[in-house]
Amino acid sequence: MSIRLQRLSRSLERQPVWLAMALAIGAAITAVAIVAGSKLNLADLLAVTPLLACARCNGRLTTLAAGCAIALSAIVGIVYGGPTTASVAYRFAIVGGAGIFAILAAVMRGRREDTLIRISERVQRAILRPLPGELGGVAFASHYQSASPQALVGGDLYDVTMTPFGPRLIIGDVKGKGLDAVGQCAAVLAIFREMAPTEPDLVRLAVAMDARFARDIGIEDFVTVILAEFAPGEVRLVNCGHHPPLRLAAGSRELQALEAEPACPPLGLNPSPHRQDVRLKPGDRLVFYTDGLVEARDPAGRFLVLDHRVAAALGGPDLEAAVQRVVRLLLEHAGGELADDVLLVLASPLDM
């Protein structure tokens, strides 16, 4: 399911709850108005029902709320002594007018949200370009999802580019998340896309990126990154404060964390990076990820463990299907809601 469809699904799930709340408030106002009698003209408060519904519901559900409010107003009028009195007509005008206003507001809000979603999708495509299925003898698959309901793009970043030195991949996580992190995410990717094709040494590339990035950030800002360079039979890694990638050897059921020794600070904190060379065979898989994967908690507060279940999910010939199996495992563990952005990149050398 695409990110847009996921967000639309979440929005649709919330609408009946919001409508039920609005109708419950309307029913409570009706009961109090009937008990209070005509001395207190509380029935005018039924205008709250459609106004509350329009805050989250679409035009159709808001129309339903407005109709229910008018019906409840009629019930109060009948109890007061007949629906033809001037007070009842006045009450209908108040509640009906509020209903029309609420319907228009719901329709306008829905159109504005659709426009913002389309703009956000274009921003995502400009900043986080889809990974190619294959580049330079390496197959790739990925999944990205922002935890912020206001953004399709968050603080996680990735990109892959073909260079004279082989395919180079970056994956990272800037400090913060959601809209506040988008600018720094775009800046890091722009630096990588400019420097990766021209700097032959991966360590010097990390140092140059740090120098450029540090000029434009605050004193407490930083970004954790992994730079990966794929060559025949191996991958070269430079890890600046990021979670170590995992290797799943062909035919194995155990994940191996490729820990960098010694640890290196993130970009922006004056790192001293070093290179790690890892042998790879056709069919081996490398899993790059951000902390949204390992810091997701279940209802009991336990983190997701990257154990045999994740290794089994990564099996099979189709990389895209493998990524989606891991995502389903993550969502099942977290109860369907993510507290942080999550990014997964799966890479596997091909038998060329």
- Under a CB-based contact definition with an 8 Å cutoff, are residues 138 and 282 in contact? no
Instruction: Report CA torsion sign: 109, 112, 118, 121.
Output: negative
Kindly indicate the confidence band of residue 148, based on its pLDDT and cuts at 50, 70 and 90.
low
More confident site: 178 or 251: 251
> Is residue 6 over pLDDT 80?
no
CA distance 141 to 133: 6
> Is residue 190 over pLDDT 50?
yes
What does pLDDT average to over the chain?
84
pTM: 0.70
Give me the pLDDT at residue 12, please: 45
Give me the pLDDT at residue 41, please: 66
Question: Percentage of the chain with pLDDT > 70?
Answer: 86
Give the range among 133-137, 206-210, 216-220, 244-248 with minimum mean pLDDT: 216-220
Spell out the domains of the chain, with CATH numbers in brackets: 3-123 (no CATH), 129-349 (3.60.40.10)
> Is residue 8 over pLDDT 50?
no
Question: Percentage of the chain with pLDDT > 90?
Answer: 38
> Is residue 235 over pLDDT 90?
yes
The tokens of 91 are what?
């009450």
State the DSSP code for 212: H
More confident site: 39 or 330: 330
> Is residue 154 over pLDDT 70?
no
Give me the pLDDT at residue 226, please: 97
Give me the pLDDT at residue 85, please: 56
- Work out the average pLDDT over 143-153: 66
- Work out the average pLDDT over 101-117: 84
Where do runs of H (alpha helix) occur along the chain? 3-36, 48-53, 59-81, 86-127, 179-195, 202-214, 291-294, 308-313, 319-334
* pLDDT per residue as tens digits for the range 266-293: 998 989 999 999 999 988 999 999 988 9
- Work out the average pLDDT over 64-93: 75
CA distance 156 to 344: 10
**Bridge partners for 256 per DSSP:** 247
For 38-76, the three-class secondary structure string (H helix, E strand, C coil) is CCCCHHHHHHHHHHHHCCCCCHHHHHHHHHHHHHHHHHH
